Amino acid sequence: EKEKERQARREEERRMKEEADAKKKSDEEAKKKSALSSMGSNYSSHLQRADQKRGGKKETEREKKKKILAARRKPLNIDHLSEDKLKDKINELNEWMRQLESEKFDHMEKLKLQKYEVTRLRRRVEELSKFSKKGAAARRRK
């Protein structure tokens, strides 16, 4: 009798679990269908929601980047400008572009130097590890 009760209880739990799983799958499929149907014009917002679900640090880094880019991007209101003012605006934008390119060049050169320094120091560490006891033991194990 107790065995029958246990078996009935297990059967009931299994049935409930299967129902819950089936409901969960149908909910997920409904969400996917609604997401796919709205993907046409709102595809980027769907991707943003997916990124938010992943959460945390990446989202904040993206937000920081968006804020910085929004601050750097200046609106280009040239519809009402005269020819002289347009030329001034062109010169201003050209100068700004030169400045950005020079900063980019400086950063790239700094990056090259840092990469070189890292490789040089790695080689030095490898050379020094040859003479240490730990390094010799590690080489023998391999």
Question: Looking at per-residue confidence, does 21 or 140 come out higher?
Answer: 21
In the Cβ-directed half-sphere of 45, how many Cα atoms lie within 13 Å? 7
Domain extent for 141? 81-142
Torsion from C-alpha of 105, 110, 115, 121, nearest 10 degrees: 160
Structural domains in the chain (count): 1
Mean pLDDT, residues 120-136 taken together: 85
Instruction: Say what the pTM is.
Output: 0.42
Widest Cα–Cα separation across the chain: 100
Q: Is residue 60 domain-resident?
A: no
Q: Is residue 62 domain-resident?
A: no
pLDDT of 49 reads 64
Residues with Cβ within 8 Å of 138's Cβ and at least 6 positions away in sequence, in order, are: 129
Q: Is residue 118 domain-resident?
A: yes
Q: Is residue 10 domain-resident?
A: no
Question: Looking at per-residue confidence, does 110 or 50 come out higher?
Answer: 110
**pLDDT for residue 99 is more than 80:** yes
